């Protein structure tokens, strides 16, 4: 065997194994990361977090939550809001600020924000006719007894809603409170005026 062949079979100690496999590993990691990113995008777009096709006709999560079953105080507040928007908000406005020449504001009204609730309950039960001053402004009102046709629970809920909305802070009105006031009224009463309301206890 020649000296050249002997030397060619001896590995040079300065040269190690070729590192060609590391670039393949890096490429596989990059492909995996890209696939994970694309999967996350697909999941986000098609998972139904809030898809109008899934939750229609609702336009947002907040709107959808309004229709979820509630209990306790939240249920009473939701019930009061529904009754208000259906029966009272037409004249007094959805924001409780009233409408000029039609109905006074309920937000901040001295007839609403009181310690007691007797007067504010009598207004929808008996109705109003004649002059009444609200927040220093004179009104000549003709309001039908809108609450007379409501159930005790609905009237209690809407009065509680009115007394605790738009910055108002009043005590809640219960179904038993409305039953008691109805019983004290006796038969079908005549509409009230401002002086009659003032003579009543809260």
So what's the pLDDT on residue 12?
54
So what's the pLDDT on residue 47?
66
Alpha-carbon distance 152 to 158, whole Å? 10
So what's the pLDDT on residue 53?
60
Q: Which domains does the chain have, with CATH numbers?
A: 71-199 (1.10.760.10)
Question: What does the block give as tokens for 61?
Answer: 């999560």
Contacts of 99 (CB under 8 A, 6+ apart): 91, 92, 93
> If the chain, 202 residues long, is cut into consecutive pieces of 10 residues, what is the mean pLDDT of each piece?
53 55 87 93 71 68 72 78 90 89 88 85 85 82 85 92 89 89 77 76 74
Contacts of 95 (CB under 8 A, 6+ apart): 107, 166
pTM of the model: 0.63
Reading phi first (left if > 0) and then psi (alpha if -120 to 50, else beta), residue 175 is in: alpha
**CA 177-182-188 angle, 5° bins:** 165
Alpha-carbon distance 158 to 76, whole Å? 9
């Amino acid at each position: 065997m020649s000296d050249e062949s002997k030397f060619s079979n001896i590995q040079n100690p300065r040269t190690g194994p070729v590192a060609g496999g590391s670039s393949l590993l890096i490429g596989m990691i990059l492909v995996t990361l890209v696939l994970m990113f694309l999967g996350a995008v697909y999941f986000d777009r098609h998972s139904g977090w809030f898809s109008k096709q899934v939750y229609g006709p609702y336009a947002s999560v907040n709107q959808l939550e309004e229709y979820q079953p509630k209990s306790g105080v939240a249920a009473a507040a939701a019930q009061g809001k529904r009754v208000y928007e259906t029966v009272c908000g037409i004249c007094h406005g959805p924001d409780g600020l009233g409408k000029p020449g039609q109905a006074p504001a309920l937000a901040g009204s001295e007839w609403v924000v009181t310690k007691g609730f007797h007067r504010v309950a009598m207004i929808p039960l008996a109705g109003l006719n004649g002059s009444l001053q609200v927040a220093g402004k004179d009104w000549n009102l003709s309001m039908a007894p809108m609450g007379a046709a409501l159930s005790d629970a609905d009237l209690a809920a809407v009065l509680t809603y009115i007394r605790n909305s738009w910055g108002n802070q009043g005590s809640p009105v219960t179904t038993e409170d409305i039953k008691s006031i109805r019983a004290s009224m006796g038969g079908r009463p005549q509409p009230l005026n401002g002086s009659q309301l003032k003579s009543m206890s809260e």
